[in-house]
């Protein structure tokens, strides 16, 4: 069974449903405004965190690829040297 990293868990689903019900049932415009502002701030923080994580993942992948390329160059260079010595 694979886990989709974007799929919401049960806890997140319940939390989202709780907020939906609160918004639907709320009659106080000030409460709704405060909630909306808090959610906008939370969304901005999540986007910043996602962008940071994507950048870090990309940097890590690039570092791995650079190490692999270096290893391939080293092995290719030693294979060339050993074939030159065999002649």
Tokens 């806890």 label which residue?
11
Angle value at C-alpha 67, between 66 and 71, nearest 5 degrees: 115
38-80: per-residue pLDDT in tens? 999 999 999 999 999 999 999 999 999 999 999 999 988 877 6
Cβ–Cβ < 8 Å for 64, 58: no
Which long-range contacts (C-beta less than 8 Å, at least 24 apart) are formed by 50-54? Answer: none
User: What integer best gives the mean pLDDT of the chain?
Assistant: 87
């Amino acid at each position: 069974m694979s886990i989709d990293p974007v799929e919401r868990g049960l806890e997140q689903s319940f939390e989202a449903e709780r907020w939906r019900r609160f918004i639907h049932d709320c009659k106080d415009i000030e409460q709704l405004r405060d909630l909306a502002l808090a959610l906008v701030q939370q969304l901005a923080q999540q986007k910043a965190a996602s962008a940071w994580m994507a950048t870090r993942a990309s940097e890590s992948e690039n570092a791995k690829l650079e190490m692999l390329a270096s290893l391939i160059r080293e092995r290719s260079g030693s294979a060339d040297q050993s074939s030159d010595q065999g002649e």
